[in-house]
């Protein structure tokens, strides 16, 4: 077969648009940023509003997936969306696991959260070394990613990106089920297909059933605590995401209904912790 222009274009479309799913879907990130923004202190809210580009109209949620959109342009940033741990060990250690596929240290989602936290601490300096708008958008996105259980997954299946399953009747990879399908199915079934209704329900639970826990989620002895979040993540991946799933599993109501509370919890934790982190940075 001779390659013609059509094949080349088709191939380019394939490589760029196959959802390799290295991130919560758009809704997952939107939810986390929308939960976080109303929880900001005056100082943090002012800094965020200064750093957001004007066309975001002070809505952090509208740019919470920016880091996914620039993944190809900023190719160096793609390993920063996740981290992989040794297969079936179900533990995480920064020194062992925070590296990219070439073994370069710190190049993982936990290292990136530390990196952009440190950069943002220079907010207010007369000549900042880094683009702090980008730092804010990266940090807000990666705080979301680290709370998606399969962004802290096993090495050989690339965070369940190579595990093919059926989500009800449709083919999907397990990673994508956790990025998007559980959230989308919940929205359709329980929230009138409105992401805002899911955000309101989470917001309400943060101030009621989760109010005591939420104080503990905020606590952290450093400016940001990605190692804690990553350890919880691999545990949730083992206990809930991978559990009982094999190649070609059909995942339906049993899986959906038992995993939905885990997704809700991780979204809520992500939102509360993003706000707490920004409050510490700009506080
Ligand atoms: C830290 O941020 C800079 C600026 O965006 C980037 O070049 C570098 O790769 C980042 N490193 C990590 C580990 O996040
Ligand atoms: C900072 O980054 C944003 C997003 O990439 C870009 O639009 C803006 O021009 C950059 N600002 C500076 C001062 O380089
Ligand atoms: C909120 O909490 C109630 C009571 O525990 C639970 O039934 C509901 O599913 C929760 N909703 C969300 C979105 O977490």
> What does the pLDDT average to over 65-90?
97
Atom of ligand 2 nearest to the CA of 70: 5
Residue 22's φ and ψ, nearest 5 degrees, are: -100, 40
pLDDT confidence tier of residue 24, bands split at 50, 70 and 90: confident
Distance of CA 51 from the midpoint of ligand 2 (Å): 10
pLDDT tens-digit series, residues 50-63: 999 999 999 999 99
**2 has a pLDDT exceeding 80:** no
Predicted confidence at residue 23, as pLDDT, reads 63
User: DSSP labels for the chain?
Assistant: ----HHHHHHHHHHHHHS----S--HHHHHHHHHHHGGG--HHHHHHHHHHS-GGGTT-GGGGTTHHHHTTTTTGGGGGGG-EEE-TTT----HHHH-B-TT--BT-SHHHHHHHHHHHHTTTT-SS-SS-HHHHHHHHHHHHHHTTSGGGEEETTTTTTTT-EEEETTEEEEHHHIIIIIHHHHHHHHHSTT-HHHHHHHHHHHHHTTTHHHHHHHH--SSS--HHHHHHHHHHHIIIIISTT--TTPEE-HHHHHHHHHHHHHHHHHHHHHHHHHHHHHH-
Predicted confidence at residue 91, as pLDDT, reads 98
**98 has a pLDDT exceeding 70:** yes
Distance of CA 156 from the midpoint of ligand 1 (Å): 25
Distance of CA 200 from the midpoint of ligand 3 (Å): 11
**Can you name the residues that pair with 167 across neighbouring β-strands?**
170, 251
Atom of ligand 3 nearest to the CA of 264: 14
**1 has a pLDDT exceeding 50:** no
Distance of CA 133 from the midpoint of ligand 2 (Å): 7
pLDDT confidence tier of residue 5, bands split at 50, 70 and 90: very low
Whether 184 lines ligand 1, by a CB cut-off of 6 Å, is no
- Our mutation pick for probing the ligand 1 site, out of 112, 128, 138, 141, counting the most ligand atoms within 8 A of Cβ, is 112
Ligand lying nearest the CA atom of residue 198: 3
> What does the pLDDT average to over 19-31?
74
**Mean pLDDT for all residues in the chain:** 93
Whether 213 lines ligand 3, by a CB cut-off of 6 Å, is no
Predicted confidence at residue 233, as pLDDT, reads 98
Ligand lying nearest the CA atom of residue 263: 3
Instruction: Specify the residue with its C-alpha closest to ligand 2, atom 10.
Output: 131
Whether 130 lines ligand 2, by a CB cut-off of 6 Å, is no
Predicted confidence at residue 54, as pLDDT, reads 96
Predicted confidence at residue 96, as pLDDT, reads 98
Instruction: Specify the residue with its C-alpha closest to ligand 1, atom 12.
Output: 112
pLDDT confidence tier of residue 184, bands split at 50, 70 and 90: very high
pLDDT confidence tier of residue 127, bands split at 50, 70 and 90: confident
Instruction: Specify the residue with its C-alpha closest to ligand 2, atom 14.
Output: 131
Listed in sequence order, the residues at least 6 apart from 56 whose beta carbon sits closer than 8 Å to its beta carbon are 62, 63
Distance of CA 157 from the midpoint of ligand 2 (Å): 35
Distance of CA 214 from the midpoint of ligand 2 (Å): 34
pLDDT tens-digit series, residues 207-234: 999 999 999 999 998 988 999 999 999 9
Predicted confidence at residue 152, as pLDDT, reads 98
> What does the pLDDT average to over 17-38?
79
Q: In whole angstroms, what separates CA 270 from the centre of its chain?
A: 8
Distance of CA 132 from the midpoint of ligand 2 (Å): 8
Predicted confidence at residue 106, as pLDDT, reads 98
> What does the pLDDT average to over 165-187?
98
């Amino acid at each position: 077969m001779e390659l013609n222009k059509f094949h080349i274009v088709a191939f380019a479309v394939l490589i760029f648009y196959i959802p390799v799913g290295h991130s919560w879907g758009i809704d997952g990130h939107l939810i986390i940023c929308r939960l976080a923004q109303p929880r900001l202190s005056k100082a943090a809210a002012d800094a965020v509003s200064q750093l957001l580009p004007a066309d975001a109209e002070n809505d952090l949620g509208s740019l919470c997936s920016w880091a996914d959109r620039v993944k190809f342009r900023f190719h160096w940033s793609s390993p920063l969306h996740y981290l992989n741990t040794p297969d079936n060990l179900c533990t995480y250690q920064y020194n062992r696991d925070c590296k990219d596929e070439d073994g370069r240290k710190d190049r993982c989602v936990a290292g990136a959260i530390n990196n952009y936290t440190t950069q943002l601490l220079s907010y207010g300096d007369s000549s900042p070394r880094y683009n702090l708008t980008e730092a804010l958008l990266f940090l807000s996105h990666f705080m979301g990613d680290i709370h998606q259980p399969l962004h802290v997954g096993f090495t050989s299946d690339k965070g369940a990106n190579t595990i093919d399953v059926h989500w009800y009747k449709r083919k999907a990879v397990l990673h994508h089920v956790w990025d998007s399908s559980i959230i989308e199915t919940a929205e359709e079934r329980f929230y009138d297909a409105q992401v805002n209704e899911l955000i309101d329900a989470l917001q309400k639970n943060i101030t009621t059933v989760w109010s005591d826990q939420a104080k503990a989620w905020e606590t952290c002895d450093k400016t940001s605590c990605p190692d804690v979040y990553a350890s919880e993540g691999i545990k949730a991946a083992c206990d809930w995401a991978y559990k009982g799933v094999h190649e070609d599993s059909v995942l339906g109501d049993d899986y959906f209904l038992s995993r939905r509370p885990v997704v809700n919890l991780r979204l809520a934790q992500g939102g509360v912790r993003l706000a707490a982190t920004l409050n510490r940075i700009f506080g």
